Amino acid sequence: MSEYHIVASTAELGDEDQVHVNVNGRDILLCKHAGKYYAIDYYCNHAFLPMEGGTMQHGLITCPYHGAEFSLADGSAQAAPAWEALTSYPIQVTNESITIAVT
Domain boundaries, the chain: 3-102
Type and span of the H or E element at 79: strand 77-79
Mean pLDDT of 23-36: 97
Nearest-5° angle of CA 73, CA 74, CA 76? Answer: 120
* CATH numeric code, 3-102: 2.102.10.10
Cβ atoms within 10 Å of 58's Cβ, excluding its own: 10
Residue 16 Rama label (left phi>0; alpha psi -120 to 50; beta): left
Summarize pLDDT for 60-74 with one digit per residue, the tens.
999 999 999 999 999
Residue 1 has pLDDT above 90, yes or no: no
Tell me the pTM: 0.95
> Over the chain, what is the mean pLDDT?
96
